[in-house]
Structure formats: structure tokens, C-alpha cells
Structure 1
């Protein structure tokens, strides 16, 4: 991902927030016949406070990705959306796309059965806890035999990235009045409204203002 100092994200807490809020990740690796990609939910390792992540893939994706043997790039995509030049007012401008993305790469560690079961349990708990009547992995009518049979068809991994690249392109290079206009449009009810992106822009703007003080 091409970097621009104006858009670089380096704060670990902010990177962890983006990863935590956007767990549906793209996993990319060099396959035998070219680049390959898979898509899976990935979480921060609950036992670490850095950017270590945990997840699983279904067989035979572990072989397709050469999991544990080759470098794995894991991409987390935050809120994003189209930005019209008409939102800038009477100035020369072209369309653009605002977005937040975090890239983590390294050679993942393949975990054992016990750790993989814990990862699968954490994934289920993470997503089910938002529901009014959560259904946990080990809860009946699921049985231990059923859960372990499912686990045997997956490969769990832990990745502590050796390379981190993160970008928050949210109109930081524009005057405050333009940023405010863009946020208002994204918060509106137009064709390209995107409230989550507006919230990200507010967050970036507040951080920039705090840095000026």
C-alpha cells in the first residue's frame, strides 16, 4: 500500500481499533500458480496487547495459502466511500475515495487443536454476544463430538506481524471548511451517504486539531 505521510496511521491503539471493528479480513499469499486470496473473520489475540491476530481457515485453504510456510498478508478494510468534488464548493477538484485500511503481514504460526478450539470459541462468542439470545459454540444441541468434528476441518493460526502498513485517507489534506462539508454530506441522506465514514472523519479531524494545540 503506497504511503503518504499525511495519511499514515501509526498509533497502535488506533490500529487495534480498526482491526477490532472490522474483523472480516482478506488473507493474501503467494500460491503455487500465482497470488491467492481467501476471506475469513480474524480477531486480535486476547492474550496480547500488540497487533497479534488469530483466526482459522477451512481445509484445503491452508494448503492453497501455504499457511505457516509463506508470508501471509491480512487486510482489514474500515469504512470507505465516494467523495464528490461538488462537496468541496467552488474550487478545482476531482472525485476521490476516502478509506481506512490496515495491512498486517508475516509468517503465521499454526496452532494446536486446543488453541484452535479456543479461537473458534472466541470467534463465536465475539459475534453472538451482540444478539439478544446468543448461541454459544458448546451450547446444546451442539455436542462436544460435533464441535470437535468441525474443528478437525479447520486450521487455526496466530500471526504477529513483521510488517505493518496502515492508512487513513480522510481528507486530512483539505481545509477545515471542506472537511466539515464532506462530513455533513456523508451524514446526510444522499446517494453516497456513509455515516460510519463520517464518524471516522470526525475522529481523524479531532486528532488533528488536538495535535495542533
Structure 2
């Protein structure tokens, strides 16, 4: 991802927030057979306060990626959407796309069977906890044999990134009044309404105002 000083996201707490809020990630590897990409839920490692993440792949994706043997790239995509030049007013402009993305690169550590099981358990809890009647991994009708059989078909990993590229392109290069107009359009009812993206823009805009104050 090409970096641009105007759009660089360097605050670790904000990067962690983006990762936590957008756990469905793309995992890519460069292998002897070419580029490989897979899609899995990846979480921040709750044992660390840095950008270490944990996740799993299903077999044989571990072999396809050569997991643990070389570098992987994990991409987290935050809210994104189309920005019309008509929202900029009567000025020369072209369409663009606003987005937030985080790229983590490094060689992953392969987890033990017990560690992998703990990550799978945490993944289930992470998403089931949003439901009024959560179905935990170890609850009936699941039993230990069923869980262990499914876990054996996965390979867990931990990645402490050696390279981080994070970008937040949210119209920061536009005047404040234009940003407010774009936020209003995204919060509207048009075909490109996108409240989640509007919320990200509002967060970034408020942070800039606070920094200038």
C-alpha cells in the first residue's frame, strides 16, 4: 500500500481500534506457486498490548501459504466508500474512494494445539457475545470430541509484525467545510450513504480539531 504523509495512520491505539473493529482479514503469501490469498477472522492477541495478532487457517491452507516458513501480509479493511466530486461544490474535482486500511507483515509463529484451541474459543466468544442468546464453543450439543476433531483441522498462528503500514484516507486534504459536507452526504439517504464511513471521518476530523486547539 503506497503511503502518503497526509493520510498516514501512525497512532498505535487507533490502529488497534481498526483491527479490533474489522477482524475479517485477508491473509496473503508469496509462494513458489505464486501469490496466495485467504480470508479469515484475525484478532488482536489479548496477551499483548502491541499490534500482535492471532488467528487460524483451515488445513491445507497452512501448506498452501507455507505458514511459518516465510513472510505473510495480513490486511484489515475498515469502512470505505465512494466520494462524489459533486459533494465538493463548484470546484474542479474528480471522484475518489475514502478508506481506512492496516497492513501487518512478518513471519508468523505456529501455535501449539492447546494455544490454537484457546484462540478458536476466543473467536467464538468474540462474535457470539453480541447475540442475546450466545452459543459458546463448549456448550451442548457440542462435546469435547467434536471440538477437538474440528480444531485438528485448523492451524493457529501468532504474528508480531515486523512491518506496519496503516492508512486513513478520509478527505484530510480538503477544507474543513468540505469535509463536513462529505460527512453529511454519507449520513444522508442517497445511493452512496455510508454512516460507518461518516463516523470514521467524524472521528478523524474531531481528532484534528483537538490537535489544533
Fold conserved between structures, TM > 0.5 = yes
Residues 66-77 of structure 1 aligned to structure 2 (within 5 Å): 66-77=66-77
Match of 2:30 in 1: 30
CA distance in 1, matches of 2:80, 2:47: 30
Match of 1:175 in 2: 175
How far the C-alpha of 1:142 sits from its partner, in A, is: 0.3
Residues 109-124 of structure 1 aligned to structure 2 (within 5 Å): 109-124=109-124
How far the C-alpha of 1:32 sits from its partner, in A, is: 1.9
How far the C-alpha of 1:210 sits from its partner, in A, is: 1.3
Match of 1:94 in 2: 94
SS in 2 for 1:6: helix
Residues 1-213 of structure 1 aligned to structure 2 (within 5 Å): 1-213=1-213
How far the C-alpha of 1:18 sits from its partner, in A, is: 0.1
CA distance in 2, matches of 1:194, 1:71: 35
TM-score, normalising length: structure 1: 0.99
SS in 1 for 2:6: coil
Per-residue CA deviations over 1:85-114 (Å, capped at 9, x if unaligned) read 000000110000000000001000000010
Per-residue CA deviations over 1:38-94 (Å, capped at 9, x if unaligned) read 000000001110000000000000011110001010000000000000000001100
| RMSD between superposed Cα atoms in Å | 0.5
SS in 2 for 1:15: helix
Per-residue CA deviations over 1:7-45 (Å, capped at 9, x if unaligned) read 000111000000000000000001221111000000000
SS in 2 for 1:10: coil
CA distance in 1, matches of 2:73, 2:137: 28
Structure 1 unaligned regions, length at least 5: none
The alignment covers a number of residue pairs equal to 213
SS in 2 for 1:132: coil
CA distance in 2, matches of 1:199, 1:9: 16
Per-residue CA deviations over 1:131-156 (Å, capped at 9, x if unaligned) read 01000000011000000000100000
